Structure 1
Amino acid sequence: MRLSIATAAACLLGMLSTAMASNERKVFAHYMLGLTYGQTASDWALDISTAKAAGIDGFALNAGPNDSFGDQQLDLAYKAAEAAGFKVFVSFDMGCCGAWDINKVVRWINAYKGSTAQYKVNNVPFVSTFEGPTWADQWANVRSQTGGIYLVPDWSSLGPNGIAGQLGKIDGAFSWEAWANTPGPKTTDADRAYRSTLGSKSYMMGVAPFFYTNIADYNKNWYWGPETLWFDRWEQVLQIMPDFVQIISWNDYGESHYIGNSRESSIIPQAKRYASGIPHDGLRMVLPYYIASYKAGARVSIPNEGAVFWYRTSPKNAGNDGGTTYGPSGTTKAIDAINDVVYVMTLSNTDTSVFVTIGGNGQQFQVKKGVDIVKMPFNSRTGQVRVVMQNGKNGVGAKDIVAYPVNGNVNFNPVVGQTN
């Protein structure tokens, strides 16, 4: 693949970043602490062992200010991470559910800064946020009361230009812009703008597979794409080479971008109709390759050949689209931004082929060495989705494609499968 001058420059910028050496690049997954009510130590241990097996270095623990179970679950998370040699840090959610008391922020940081699980940079705790630019002036006080922190907030509402006016208060920035703002491809324009603005400060790049939410209580009903985002965004990580990557998310079922173990008790009631019984585990299959390549600064051999595939379970024009738009304030219908396609992402150390079928009917595709992606249209076919690699590895989707959705509503949350 030929690199453009701009792409080559981005690669060079990533490799020359003075903020972090290449062997210190880390990959974290965004973990919603607010969905852990009743979660046990063994639940935490399972999630951590699963994440480690995929090559993930730690969890960014998104925590709200008023969860009654927050202290208990935070303690369970740190203890489980300590036992497993895993890293965690708190991401203070300042975009939802009330205001943060500075005393609580300080208390949490001080309580865990000595933990072996606390991720640190320059020997001080790494701290992040979800939004909260109006809280910016309080971080200096937090630093003085905790002995120092390494602050990499997500203030994406400001954008790169707004971040430029806050550089004296932060050590880096995390961008939540993991999706295309308008229908079409996701570009790296925002990533490049952040890198340019931050200079030698750290850049944490957001990577996500999907986005669909439809929760009336929160006035949320939108979709973001593109549908090939999981492939596109990891390829972009290898172009940009950010200091950190944060996967959005491990367990946010309500926004359909979860890659972790499905836990029914953590799916809020209004999201069950589109997230319950819809596995995304297969997405993790690509992580050992991409994470190893990202950390090495060059593509490595495929450690686990096979394929991951995803699809919606009914044609987009069958059933009620629920008024879902593209983006939170968009006017484009979400159904106009999706296609009736089975997407197959292949990983192979040689050129090979993959056979994709719906209800026993399909076609064979030639795929390139490394990571490739192919697309097979529904073409009115229904039934079981099956993917077979030339090497014999095969997988079957957890749900069939049907002509009309069971509950009458279009589900924009894809089913994900993988080969054995």
Structure 2
Amino acid sequence: MFGNLTFSKAAMLLAVCSLWSYVNAKSVYCHYMIATVNPDNAQKDIDQAKALGFDAFALNIGQPSAPWAVGTVKALFDYADSTGFKLFFSLDFYQTADLNAYTDLLKGYIGRPAYLTAGPNNHPVISMFSVGSHSADDFQSWKQNTFNGNIYFLPNADNSPGYSNPQTWFQTWGKVVDGVFGWETAWPTQGTTPANVSIDFDTAVQNEARANSKTYMAPMSSLQFKACCGGHYYRVDEINLPQRMELLLKMQPDFVEVLTWNDAGESHYIGNNWKEGLTDDVWAYSNPTDWAHHAWQPLINSFTSAFKGNGSMVPPGGSRAVGAMWYRPVLKSASCQKPDNWQSALDAVNYAVIVAKNVTSPRIRVTTGNGKVLSDTPAKVGLNYAAVLGVQSGPQKVELLSGNVTMMTATSIADITADSSDCVFNYKVVGLA
């Protein structure tokens, strides 16, 4: 079979082929903030995430010995062990900086059936929200002394020295990482002007990762709005989520991590927010009655299928179309106490609609206020999205038409107002139905 290849060369070839096969077994994960979650709600989160095509939750753990954290982690693993859904830890050094503080928790779970493994040796995956103040040598010692080197180390490297130059960074960190994860590239650079998300830096990191036989995990998210915990800021969104979907399908990273399932404080959740784990100030702008983001889930479901199948986005479940409309319920000219970087926001009705091939002459129409038509444009098969400017106070509506027949409609659940007492820059997200 191997002709004149020596046995060692043949073995090397098999190893490379094995790694190549592994890398191409692409996966999509979702970042999950560990807070107080009761066992029934933990089960609901896992069932819903699995149905959307997620392969695992990355469990953001920052207080590894806190009773509430220990209880939630146990509930998640106890249920996931029998479902085929996977979990892995993402260490949060902004909460607990000591690397060794996480050791007992990790050793207690990395052998569980639900714990995610990766790489040619199926080592347990350990990620992190940042590297904190730790160096590559710190992690190398910890990895070797604590786990005998037998972990798949996939850190977010955004704050590590030299990361802005991936080629130089891998010269220092390549000895310890098995892959690398970005966080900040999920959104445009923070600032006071509107901007589009980019994959330029993701691509540069991925190219160096692959040159060093490492993997790259790309982030994907919607918006950031925070009004708690000492922070009050907005990070431009509008159509960030569908733009990022489109870009990552072109880029084809090894893994994608969606940010997040349940980070209510920063508003970029696509799953459930449970009251038992949230403070009143966060609940006020993230509760599911007023601020649910579940309508993004059909888009996510389509993306996970397309990404893992190397295909295009199509409506899931054989539907003719799926989609969502989202909008900020207060104009940026409001005189209320606006968040930092509010200037980067657009007064827009945003939508993303995925259309099947069997829809005849599809069009998407957007109306605002007293019924003014802002946009009426032909739609294509697959993913369509836009931020439609010129919104007025009052109700908003997005319609999908086939010829002159309305197929689906999303109507605002609350009017846009010129001013607001709470000045929330989170999004109202409404599904097309």
TM-score, normalised relative to structure 1: 0.85
For 1:89, the aligned partner's letter is F
Q: 1:266 to 1:309 in 2, by over 3 A?
A: farther
Q: 2:303 aligns to what?
A: 290
Q: 2:340 aligns to what?
A: 325
Mapped contact 1:309–1:344 kept (Cα < 8 A): yes
Task: Give 1:258 deviation, angstroms.
Answer: 0.6
Q: Distance in 2 between matches of 1:337 and 1:17?
A: 46
Mapped contact 1:267–1:275 kept (Cα < 8 A): no
Q: 1:189 to 1:55 in 2, by over 3 A?
A: same
Q: 1:403 to 1:90 in 2, by over 3 A?
A: same
Q: 2:408 aligns to what?
A: 393
Mapped contact 1:382–1:403 kept (Cα < 8 A): no
Task: Give 1:354 deviation, angstroms.
Answer: 2.4
Per-residue CA distance 1:5-25 (angstroms, 9 max, x = gap): xxxxxxxxxxx9956646521
TM-score, normalised relative to structure 2: 0.83
Q: Tell me if 1:193 matches 2:204.
A: yes
Equivalent position to 1:354, from 345, 364, 373 = 364
Identity of aligned residues (%): 25
Q: Distance in 1 between matches of 2:62 and 2:345?
A: 33
Show structure 1 runs of 5+ residues with no match.
Answer: 1-15, 327-333
Per-residue CA distance 1:110-161 (angstroms, 9 max, x = gap): 2222222111013210110111253341443334433510000012113342
Task: Give 1:355 deviation, angstroms.
Answer: 3.0
Q: 2:95 aligns to what?
A: 97
Q: Distance in 2 between matches of 1:196 and 1:300?
A: 25
Mapped contact 1:367–1:373 kept (Cα < 8 A): no
Show structure 2 runs of 5+ residues with no match.
Answer: 1-16
Q: Distance in 2 between matches of 1:356 and 1:21?
A: 44
Q: 2:377 aligns to what?
A: 365
What does 1:150-189 align with in structure 2 at a 5 Å threshold? Answer: 150-158=152-160, 159-161=163-165, 163-164=169-170, 165-177=172-184, 178-181=186-189, 182=191, 183=193, 184-189=195-200
Mapped contact 2:155–2:180 kept (Cα < 8 A): yes
Q: 1:59 to 1:279 in 2, by over 3 A?
A: same
Q: 1:56 to 1:341 in 2, by over 3 A?
A: same
Q: Distance in 2 between matches of 1:249 and 1:87?
A: 16
Q: Distance in 2 between matches of 1:89 and 1:203?
A: 16
Q: 1:31 to 1:396 in 2, by over 3 A?
A: same
- Which structure has the larger Rg? 2
Which has the larger displacement, 393-402 or 237-246? 393-402
What does 1:28-67 align with in structure 2 at a 5 Å threshold? Answer: 28-33=29-34, 36-37=35-36, 39-65=37-63, 67=66
Instruction: Number of aligned residue pairs: give it.
Output: 386
Q: Tell me if 1:25 matches 2:9.
A: no
Equivalent position to 1:242, from 250, 253, 257 = 253
Q: 1:266 to 1:400 in 2, by over 3 A?
A: farther
Per-residue CA distance 1:265-323 (angstroms, 9 max, x = gap): 3333333343232111111111222111111223254324122111011211123243x
- Secondary structure of 1:70 counterpart: helix
Task: Give 1:404 deviation, angstroms.
Answer: 2.5
Equivalent position to 2:430, from 375, 395, 417 = 417
Mapped contact 1:353–1:367 kept (Cα < 8 A): yes
- Secondary structure of 1:390 counterpart: strand
Q: Distance in 2 between matches of 1:302 and 1:21?
A: 28
- Secondary structure of 1:258 counterpart: coil
- Secondary structure of 2:262 counterpart: coil
Q: Distance in 2 between matches of 1:230 and 1:293?
A: 15
Q: Distance in 2 between matches of 1:206 and 1:371?
A: 19
